[in-house]
Amino acid sequence: MNDFWNNILRYPRFFISSVSGLILVILTPFINLVKTPQSRIILLFFIIFLFFTLFFILKNMLAI
């Protein structure tokens, strides 16, 4: 019975380590992209464009 609860307690730790590994794998290309100044400017403009687009879409959807 003790082995059962040990296995149950391992699942949350496995989930947290899996999610943190997934986040690292997803963010690594963006971290490498920010290393050069030209790429940093392009990424900054892209993020600003993304926020403005999201803002205008939500503004029109909610009729504010």
Side-chain-side CA neighbours of 44 within 13 Å: the count stands at 8
Do the beta carbons of residue 19 and residue 9 sit within 8 Å? no
Looking at residue 28, its pLDDT comes to 92
C-alpha distances out from residue 25 to 13, 62, 63, Å = 18, 35, 38
- State the pLDDT at residue 21: 95
State pTM to two decimals.
0.53
For the chain (length 64 residues), average pLDDT per consecutive 10?
A: 82 92 93 86 91 96 88
pLDDT reported for residue 26: 94
34 within 8 A of 47, measured Cβ to Cβ: no
pLDDT at site 2: 76
